Structure 1
Amino acid sequence: MLDGLPTLVPHRIGNWCEEMVLKENQLREFLGKSTRNELICQRVERRIRGSRRPVKLSDVMEYDQNIMLKNLHTEGFLSIDVPDNYPDSVTNQDTFNLTTSLVEGVPVARNCFRFLLKDEYRTGNPEEDKKLRYGQKFYLVLNREFVQGEMYLSSTLKTLSSFSKYGKQQPAYVSFHKSNAALWKIDCIDPNIRFEMEGQLIEPGSPVLITHCVTGQHLSSDPRHIVRNDFSVEWEAACHSYKNLDAACRNRQELVQNHWVIFVGQDSAQSSDAGAVAESASAAV
């Protein structure tokens, strides 16, 4: 009966078939979007599937190997706050915000990074250049499973127009641009021996500070700054040095919001096993 009607009805027609025509138009539009994979549920599925691709961590803590960073205050791993345009329309001008997340306790595309040593710190000895040391400047690069091309963890000075969305602090984000804004170094958490520790090897499992070289602020995550996204409730990651301002405290040591632990393959496996044991115990109870 409606074969001769146009796809879109520019004016209202009699009530005897108006509702039927509108429903057919809605159905036709829905089927078209479904065919082109443009439905919201399809975009969300692609976004989650792409950001949760499994990644293999390195068994040793070295440069240019996949690692995870765990914040000791939120107990979450540094992760990408996946934007709505991922993965369909990502461009070289895009920047992605960061969170710490408890959702993925295993290595996936959105929470694995690589340390890339700055060229001026290379000695020419491949074995020595692999080892992580305090004070060396490096780039923190997102793993290759998330996007085509390299994205660098970066930060810029806090201004009236540039600040973290929830905490209003110095922003931390990943960008395709490799510049001085993407240079970082690892410092010892104890300010009394920080200078003496420069050049020393970083012990696996030891808490460290990740310092932005240009601004001197430390990478941080605070559970007061909540981010709600497609994955769950997470916490914003930014650049802000949390210090004890008590007059009785002389060393002004950075607080636990700035403390990070570098996870490699063995650490991740142990964490997964512990989580499985805890789940089994709670199920038994």
Structure 2
Amino acid sequence: MAGKGIYRNRVKIGNWNEELILEEDKMKEYLKKKETGELPIHKVDLLEENILKPVNLSLTNDGLLHFGDVVMLVNMGGENGERTAVSINADIDNLTKTPSPSIQAPCEVSAGRNIQPCTRTAFIITSVDGSPEGSALHFGQSFSLKTTSGFAMGLYLTSDRQSFVKYAKKSRLQEVNLEESCSFLSWWKIIYLNPLTRLEQEGQPVTANVKVLIVHCKTNGALAVLEDQVLCTRYGKEYEVTAHTFLDSHKAERDKNHWVLCTSDPAGSALLNHQPPAGFSNTEPTGQNQSS
């Protein structure tokens, strides 16, 4: 072939100078990020260290739920009995280091199978009607659910009607996420589980560690976990959380909508799955069901 072997290895051709400068710039950027802890691996370690930090749930002396209590929102599962907890689904994109390490809003939530009490799964029952901290929460009374302060930034569990641009990714039902400010979109209420005696229980104090419904005040959609909608998260296989009421043939809410506000009482401790805190997983689940 004509021209073959004309150039030796040491001959510089093409945009060799530009490529050399580009490689040098990449190395400088890498060393700078390594020095300041901005590499992705450093962010993953920082996120895991803070979001999986253990949290003490509240101990209730009278067996009731109160404003200011730290609880977990646990779904006991349906036919398969797989217990899950509403969890902060933060990734390194939600992480900020200034002025101190924390997550940023908006932030997604999911239903995780690891229900150990930690920063990721702890929520504070917060008053929205001026009720003093320590007073009992009643059925039908509005309140908000806030993440712990510090790394979790005290974000509020929020929802709104689905639209063309705002909906749950998998099911396309009403989205639930975490927002920085508390508004009417962050108001929830506890409804008695048994529909036959629901009216009689309205206004009565809510007992901790029993199955109830958590209903969004604006849309009247009940908090639900969708075990047929699998999410690939940094924490492993988890499920989508939405605000949608699922009814059976008797017009009663299904297991997807049944929640326990779990405390550290003996009754609540018995509900927890005592497993070591799960670390981060890069394994994607298989066999996902995409049906809505």
Question: Shorter-chain-normalised TM-score: which range?
Answer: 0.7 to 0.9
Classify the secondary structure of the residue corresponding to 1:119: coil
Does residue 117 of the first structure (1) align with residue 141 of the second (2)? Answer: no
Does residue 178 of the first structure (1) align with residue 189 of the second (2)? Answer: no
Counterpart amino acid of residue 78 in structure 1: V
Deviations 1:106-158 (A, max 9, x none): 211111001112225x3x7x7xx62122111111111114334x311111111
1:99 to 79, 102, 110: 110
Say how many residue pairs are matched.
251
Classify the secondary structure of the residue corresponding to 2:200: helix
Counterpart amino acid of residue 195 in structure 2: P
Pick closer, same or farther for the CA change 1:160–1:26 going to 2, 3 Å: closer
Gaps spanning 5+ residues in structure 1: where? Answer: 1-9, 277-285
> Are the aligned partners of 1:99 and 1:234 in contact in 2 as well (CA < 8 Å)?
yes
- Aligned pairs for 1:58-97 (under 5 A) are 58-60=58-60, 61-73=65-77, 74-88=82-96, 94-97=105-108
> Are the aligned partners of 1:50 and 1:87 in contact in 2 as well (CA < 8 Å)?
no
Counterpart amino acid of residue 161 in structure 1: V
Following TM superposition, by how much is the alpha carbon of 1:64 offset from its aligned partner in structure 2, in angstroms? 0.6
> Are the aligned partners of 1:110 and 1:146 in contact in 2 as well (CA < 8 Å)?
no
Deviations 1:234-274 (A, max 9, x none): 11111111111x3xx3xx00100000001111356445685
Following TM superposition, by how much is the alpha carbon of 1:203 offset from its aligned partner in structure 2, in angstroms? 2.3
Q: TM-score, normalised by structure 2?
A: 0.77
Does residue 108 of the first structure (1) align with residue 118 of the second (2)? Answer: yes
CA distance in 1, matches of 2:190, 2:242: 16
Aligned CA-pair RMSD: 2.8
Classify the secondary structure of the residue corresponding to 1:186: strand
2:11 counterpart residue number:
none
- Aligned pairs for 1:4-83 (under 5 A) are 11-12=15-16, 27-60=27-60, 61-73=65-77, 74-83=82-91
> Are the aligned partners of 1:63 and 1:130 in contact in 2 as well (CA < 8 Å)?
yes
> Are the aligned partners of 2:94 and 2:107 in contact in 1 as well (CA < 8 Å)?
no
CA distance in 2, matches of 1:272, 1:78: 13
Counterpart amino acid of residue 85 in structure 1: D
- Aligned pairs for 1:228-247 (under 5 A) are 228-244=232-248, 246=249
Following TM superposition, by how much is the alpha carbon of 1:57 offset from its aligned partner in structure 2, in angstroms? 1.0
Counterpart amino acid of residue 83 in structure 1: D
Pick closer, same or farther for the CA change 1:132–1:30 going to 2, 3 Å: same
1:4 counterpart residue number:
none
Gaps spanning 5+ residues in structure 2: where? Answer: 1-13, 277-292
Following TM superposition, by how much is the alpha carbon of 1:23 offset from its aligned partner in structure 2, in angstroms? 7.1
CA distance in 2, matches of 1:273, 1:226: 20
Q: TM-score, normalised by structure 1?
A: 0.78
